[in-house]
């Protein structure tokens, strides 16, 4: 793998890991302070799905970009 390509992938991997770490903090917070029946779980699910979609789409785009080029 080209060093420049590897740098981009590693960089984005680190950003994704940071996102996961922040999400764990949110998860703890919601688990600790949410009330029964409130919308916290649904919002957190939405947040997680959005984040995972963005990470996946970006990685797929970067891989396709290299394959096509």
Residues in contact with another protein by the rule CB under 8 A? 4-5, 8, 11-12, 15-16, 19, 22, 25-26, 29-31, 33-41, 43-44, 47, 50-51, 54-55, 57-58, 61-62, 65-66, 69
What distance in Å separates the CA atoms of residue 25 and residue 18, rounded to the nearest whole number? 11
Taking the complex as a whole, the smallest distance from the CB of residue 13 to another protein amounts, in Å, to: 10
What distance in Å separates the CA atoms of residue 12 and residue 26, rounded to the nearest whole number? 21
What distance in Å separates the CA atoms of residue 59 and residue 65, rounded to the nearest whole number? 10
Please count the other Cβ atoms lying within 10 Å of the Cβ belonging to residue 19: 15
Taking the complex as a whole, the smallest distance from the CB of residue 59 to another protein amounts, in Å, to: 8
Taking the complex as a whole, the smallest distance from the CB of residue 3 to another protein amounts, in Å, to: 11
């Amino acid at each position: 793998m080209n060093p420049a390509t590897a740098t981009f992938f590693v960089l984005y991997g680190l950003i994704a890991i940071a996102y996961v770490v922040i999400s764990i903090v949110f998860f703890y917070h919601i688990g600790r302070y949410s009330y029964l029946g409130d919308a916290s779980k649904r919002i957190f699910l939405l947040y997680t799905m959005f984040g995972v979609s963005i990470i996946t789409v970006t990685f797929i785009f970067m891989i396709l970009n290299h394959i096509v080029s």
